[in-house]
């Protein structure tokens, strides 16, 4: 299964916003600069997170983004669904009903084929695993030095020191 780079960017931004705290919003340009990402594209991903209720957005010169809820209430699946959508990754098109299968009786196709069943089962396991892990879990698995660096970098910009 392949996901867009927007998922990685969104997850890193959620972790960073959790580190920085929610006293003031963080501008898109500052988040983009911290990862050397294109601000316009990152902003589209951040807006998707706002629509999903993962982030809040404050407009204006002092505006930006904050987490909308605590990190332990944001799952990786929430972020993936916000960026990639909620459609199933595997789409069975029933090709077994084509070619020689087009002449088979309808009763032969009442149950899904083994391929469709296996793919749906695998996707469900993948979704369950992502739903069980939160941004808080990511924070817990990150070295304290990385969090300290991020806090210092964002605080320096905010205070102008």
Q: Where do we find the tokens 């993948």?
A: 126
**Cβ neighbours of residue 113 under 8 Å, at least 6 residues apart?**
92, 96
85 φ/ψ angles, rounded to the nearest 5 degrees: 95, 175
DSSP class of residue 112 equals P
CB 79 within 8 A of CB 10: yes
Residue of 17, 19, 12 lying closest to 145 (CA atoms): 19
Residue 160 has pLDDT above 60, yes or no: no
Q: Per the domain annotation, does 141 fall within a domain?
A: yes
Residue 40 tokens, joined: 């316009």
Query: Which residues on neighbouring strands pair with residue 67, listed in sequence order?
Result: 55
Encoded tokens for 22: 């929610």
| pLDDT-based confidence at residue 105 (cuts at 50, 70, 90) | confident
In this prediction, residue 161 carries a pLDDT of 43
Give the range of the structural domain holding residue 26, as residue numbers without chain letter: 5-86+135-159
Average confidence (pLDDT) over 129-141: 96
pLDDT at 44 (0 to 100): 96
Is the CB of residue 120 less than 8 Å from the CB of residue 62?
no
Q: pTM, whole model, 2 decimals?
A: 0.86
pLDDT above 60 (res 158): no
Are the CB atoms for 37 and 55 separated by under 8 Å? Answer: no
Q: Is residue 55 part of a domain?
A: yes
Dist. CA 19–CA 27, nearest whole Å: 15
pLDDT at 93: 84
Domain of 16, CATH number, reads 1.10.10.10
3-state class of 91 per DSSP?
coil
How many domains, the chain? 1
Assess if residue 124 is contained within a domain: no
Look at residue 35 and tell me if it is in a domain.
yes
CA distance 144 to 54: 24
Instruction: Give residue-wise pLDDT tens across range 20-29.
Output: 886 789 999 9
Q: Is residue 130 part of a domain?
A: no
Whether 120 is in a domain gets the answer: no
Render pLDDT for 110-124 as a digit per residue (tens, 0 to 9): 888 889 999 999 999
31 lies in a domain? yes
Domain membership of residue 101 (yes or no) is: no
Q: What is the pLDDT of residues 9-62, one digit of tens each?
A: 999 999 999 998 867 899 999 999 999 999 999 999 999 999 999 999 999 888
Give the rounded percent of residues in the chain with a pLDDT score beyond 90: 60
Q: Which position has the higher pLDDT, 95 or 78?
A: 78
């Amino acid at each position: 299964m392949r996901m867009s780079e927007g998922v990685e960017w969104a997850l890193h931004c959620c972790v960073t916003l959790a580190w920085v705290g929610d006293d003031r919003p963080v501008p898109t340009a500052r988040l983009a600069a911290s990862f050397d990402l294109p601000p316009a594209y990152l902003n589209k991903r951040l807006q998707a997170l706002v629509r999903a209720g993962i982030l809040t957005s404050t407009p204006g010169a002092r505006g930006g983004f904050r987490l909308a809820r605590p990190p332990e209430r944001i799952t990786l699946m929430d972020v993936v669904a916000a960026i990639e959508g909620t459609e199933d990754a595997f789409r069975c098109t029933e090709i077994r009903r084509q070619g020689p299968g087009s002449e088979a009786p309808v009763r032969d196709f009442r149950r899904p084929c083994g391929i469709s069943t296996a793919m749906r089962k695998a996707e469900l396991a993948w979704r369950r695993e992502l739903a069980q892990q939160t941004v808080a879990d990511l924070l817990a698995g990150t070295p304290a030095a990385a969090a300290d660096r991020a806090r210092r970098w964002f605080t320096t910009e905010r205070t102008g020191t």
